[in-house]
Amino acid sequence: MENLMTPYKSVLTIAGSDSGGGAGIQADIKSISACGAFAASVITATTAQNTQGVLDIHAIPMAHLELQLEAVLSDIEFGAIKIGMLHSCEVIEVVKSKLEEYDVKNIVLDPVMVATSGNKLIADDAIDCLKEFLPKADLITPNIHEAELLIGHSIGLHNFETSAIEIGKRFNTSVLLKGGHLESSFSELTDILYEHGSGEIHKIFNPKIDTKNTHGTGCSLSSSIATFLCLGHSLEMAVRKGCAYVNEAIALGKNKTLGKGNAPINHFGL
């Protein structure tokens, strides 16, 4: 009798937990599931967090973090890895070591440093460690503020595209530079994808949506891109599909409310 068993298309997210459910691991699992893959998770830290901000960050002990990574990587084959909050050099070193040991592919790294609320999510000395880790990623997805921290100068409309290229060449990786924080009167938002291997530049346009309900957009975008890579799409197509998914989720959450602050995007169109 023919064996009809088929493996899940699986994505691993390595990130922090958001107790409010809008960002971090929780947003990643929702995005991966909504985009068609199975989500596994490794938690780097827990946060006391809601729609209004981050109240506290509690680091997961390094030994337990290492065991989480060992448990899933030794058992499950992943088509892509999404990496989010890496708040210390110790965390970065443990994650780097385990990913090298298991020779994983399709690493999408969201260089999370500052939350949308303005709360800092990384220790000062960890920024340099993060920079050293970036070349291990196949794609990084910084917003404007994170990109400015990475290259040390301001970014505006005049140098948006060249900054994406500069980051990619400096850190030897492909870059999706997100334009959501750019001051612009245009009705469209532009993201720039720089493909490091080919040197190609792709502009991705989506309609600008007037809403404050954008909690978790960065986490959701990087995890959805990882999902589409896992499903076999090219980098350009995975990025385009991920951007389209998040833009639709923002639109679907525009008229929703949750808590007293900035509500999350609507991952499932609920």
Q: Which long-range contacts (CB under 8 A, 24 or more apart) does 155-163 make?
A: 155/182, 156/182, 156/183, 157/182, 157/184, 160/190, 160/192, 161/192, 161/201
Pick the catalytic residue: 20, 216, 242, 253? 216
Which of 18, 15, 84 is CA-nearest to residue 50? Answer: 18
Confirm whether 178 is a catalytic residue.
yes
Rounded Cα distance between 13 and 250, Å, is: 21
Active site (annotated) includes residue 216: yes
* Identity of the amino acid at 16: G
Catalytic residue among 30, 98, 136, 178: 178
Backbone angles phi, psi at 220, to 5 degrees: -65, -35
Residue from 141, 217, 227, 253 carrying the catalytic annotation: 217
Catalytic residue of the set 214, 227, 241, 253:
214
- Residue 6 known to be catalytic: no
What order do you get walking across the sheet with 139-140 strand by strand? 53-59, 38-50, 10-18, 80-83, 107-109, 139-140, 174-177, 188-194, 201-207
Nearest one of 135, 129, 165, 172 to 147, comparing CA atoms: 165
Q: Label residue 26 exposed, middle or buried (CB < 10 Å: 0-12, 13-18, 19+).
A: buried
For tokens 């995975």, the residue is 238
- Say whether 219 is catalytic: yes
- List 20, 79, 180, 218, catalytic entry: 218
Strands 174-177 and 188-194: antiparallel
Residue carrying the six token digits 């991920």? 242
Which residues are designated catalytic? 178, 214, 216-219
